[in-house]
Amino acid sequence: MKGKALVMGSARGEALVSRRAFTFAHGVDPSTGVVTDVRSDVRGMNVKGKILFYPFGKGSTTASSWFLETVRLGNNPVAVVTEAVDLSAVIGSVMAKIVYGKEIPVMSGITRTAYASLKSGPRVFLDATRGEVRAEE
């Protein structure tokens, strides 16, 4: 599927797909990577090493810092893909590069139909530079 690259790079990993609005702020425990938000449909899952998909962000403007703390502790997703632009992910990723030298590509603009076909579990390859996400062979 195609999307718009917001932060360049490529990554591979298992897909973790949230159907509901998602936030790192008060929603992911940075010391483990586990989703703790009681209103999340992926509560109890771990974002670490995953290609994280969610339709859109929500909540506190501090989400980018919570995201960055998962990076500092090595519990971050390896890429983030959304339907609507989530500035927290963009800013978190830009700061991750500046402060910790880690590249975490971010994409948005996945169509609703393409999004509906996604499932948690299968391994995917993401090439933000080409605006592409595909199943890994």
Partner 1 sequence: MLRGELGEARQLAMEIVSKVGDAVGADELVPIKSAHVLAHYSSLHDAGVDVLERFAESGGRFAVPTSVDPASIDLQNWKSFGIGEDYARQQFRLCEAYAKMGGMRCWTCAQYQVCNFPKQGDVVAWAESSAVVFVNSVLGSRSNKITAGMDIACAILGLTPRFGMLLDENRHAGVAFKLGLKGLTDLDYRSIGFYIGRNAGARVPSLVGLPTSVTSDQIKHLGAGAAAAGPVTMIHFPGITPGSRTMTDASRGERVEEIEITRSSLSDTEADLNQTSEFPDLAAFGVPHLSVNELGELARLLDGRKMKKGAKMYAYTSSQAYDMAERTGISATIERTGARISHSTDAEISPLRALGFSTVLTNSAKLAEIVSSEGEIKVGYASQKEIIERVTS
Is 31 among the residues known to form the active site?
no
Nearer to partner 1, 53 or 66 (CB): 66
Which residue in 31, 40, 60, 64 is the catalytic one? 60
What is the length of the chain? 137
Residues engaged in binding partner 1 (CB under 8 A): 6-7, 25-27, 30, 36-39, 58-66, 68-69, 71-72, 85, 87-88, 90-92, 94-95, 98-99, 108
List phi, psi (to 5°) of 47.
-85, -15
C-beta of 122: minimal distance to partner 1 in Å? 27
C-beta of 86: minimal distance to partner 1 in Å? 9
List phi, psi (to 5°) of 120.
-70, 145
Q: Which is it for strands 106-108 and 123-127: parallel, antiparallel or unpaired?
A: unpaired
C-beta of 4: minimal distance to partner 1 in Å? 8
Q: Which is it for strands 132-135 and 106-108: parallel, antiparallel or unpaired?
A: unpaired
Nearer to partner 1, 99 or 116 (CB): 99
Sheet holding 132-135, edge to edge: 4-7, 106-108, 79-82, 51-54, 10-17, 123-127, 132-135
Nearer to partner 1, 14 or 26 (CB): 26
Give the residue numbers marked as catalytic.
60
